[in-house]
Structure 1
Amino acid sequence: MNLNTVEKVPNEQEQQDFYQKLRAKLVAYLESKKGKSNKFTPYLMFVPDLFHLLIKTVTDTGVDKKSRALIGASLAYFVLPLDLMPEGLLGFGGYLDDIVLATFVVNTIINKLGPDVVEKHWTGDDKLLHVLQKVAEVSDEVISKIPVKSPIAQFVKQESKDK
């Protein structure tokens, strides 16, 4: 990731608009019959909070270049229309792989730089470390829904075994 990439990060108002729109759509979905019956529903509300956290952390001057590159790749995965569980086909359920990847990246940054670096950017209702723990508890089940031969599934499965 170079400095030009960081300069292209949406401005504060655009970030807030995206965050509010996504959160409003998620709330409506979660109140729907389909949303209420989805067993992963409690985790979907973490989507806008994790995205916001990654945006804020990638622009933090206390974060090294390698970590910024990792965060930038995770952000790209969030916004690219084609991923392993595409939102266009699966609706909000398609964000589950994004949540797992974002959680993995945030955990990596915390292990490398300490929790203070990312906690100061967290805007979610629950404590960040509690959210990461909740997602980690279901990540194996989510990963099992991703095609087995996909690189991200293999990478996350291997990293989970190594810990």
Structure 2
Amino acid sequence: MDIELKKELPPYEEQRDFYEKLRSKITTYVDSKTGKKGKVTPYLLFAPDLFHLLVKSLLDNRIDSKSKTIIGSGILYFITPIDVLPEGLIGPGGFIDDIIVATFVVNILLNRFSQDIIEEHWTGDEKLLHALKKIAETSDSLLGKLPASSLLGRFIKKKKKA
């Protein structure tokens, strides 16, 4: 079962423009809030890279339909306005949960397919595995510092007691 697109993808230049605009918006937003490049900015810039990787992987005919379902779920999490940390409410910091979900999906893909296949779709500045390692090492500390995380933590603790 292959996925067919109803409409062709935009030309590569338009895709690249969107990608660059998203990276620029994230950087500009963080710079305007902090007055300098924030500590989280390099991690937030993984969002467009991971989104691009997921979309390109979804269109790769070497990837089976079961894996494409997982990839589609990761893409859906990116584009759904309602998630744990909504971008509409907290700006680009809301991409942190999207990055974590995408990293989870990419790890599944790396366990199922050759690293070379997945890396073909990676456009990030760093090597894919190095970027994933960085995300994994810092995701707990980043989530622990977010207000939504402490609210979720309180809810979970109360739920466990009940």
TM-score range, shorter chain: 0.7 to 0.9
Aligned letter for 1:11?
Answer: P
Which residue of 1 is the match for residue 49 of structure 2? 49
TM-score normalised according to structure 1 size: 0.79
Which residue of 1 is the match for residue 159 of structure 2? none
Q: How far apart are residue 138 of structure 1 and its match?
A: 1.3
Q: How far apart are residue 42 of structure 1 and its match?
A: 1.9
In the alignment, the residues of structure 2 paired with residue 89 and residue 80 of structure 1 have an alpha-carbon distance, to the nearest angstrom, of: 13
CA contact (8 A) 1:9 1:55 kept: no
Aligned letter for 1:123?
Answer: T
Which residue of 1 is the match for residue 18 of structure 2? 18
Q: How far apart are residue 37 of structure 1 and its match?
A: 6.8
In the alignment, the residues of structure 1 paired with residue 31 and residue 143 of structure 2 have an alpha-carbon distance, to the nearest angstrom, of: 26
- 1:44/1:55 CA distance change after superposition, 3 Å: same
| 1:111 aligned onto 2:115 | no
Q: How far apart are residue 117 of structure 1 and its match?
A: 1.5
What is the RMSD computed on CA atoms of the aligned residues?
A: 2.4
In the alignment, the residues of structure 1 paired with residue 63 and residue 53 of structure 2 have an alpha-carbon distance, to the nearest angstrom, of: 13
Q: Which blocks of at least 5 consecutive residues in structure 1 are unaligned?
A: 151-163
Q: If you compute each CA radius of gyration, which structure gives the higher value, 1 or 2? A: 2
Q: How far apart are residue 35 of structure 1 and its match?
A: 6.6
Q: How far apart are residue 26 of structure 1 and its match?
A: 1.7
In the alignment, the residues of structure 2 paired with residue 83 and residue 122 of structure 1 have an alpha-carbon distance, to the nearest angstrom, of: 25
CA contact (8 A) 1:85 1:95 kept: yes
In the alignment, the residues of structure 2 paired with residue 30 and residue 16 of structure 1 have an alpha-carbon distance, to the nearest angstrom, of: 21
Which residue of 2 is the match for residue 157 of structure 1? none
- With 12-21 and 42-51 compared, the bigger mean Cα shift is at 12-21
- With 30-39 and 90-99 compared, the bigger mean Cα shift is at 30-39
Aligned length: 149
Which residue of 1 is the match for residue 73 of structure 2? 73
Which residue of 2 is the match for residue 34 of structure 1? 34
Which residue of 1 is the match for residue 85 of structure 2? 85
Q: How far apart are residue 29 of structure 1 and its match?
A: 2.4
Q: How far apart are residue 142 of structure 1 and its match?
A: 4.0
In the alignment, the residues of structure 2 paired with residue 36 and residue 87 of structure 1 have an alpha-carbon distance, to the nearest angstrom, of: 20
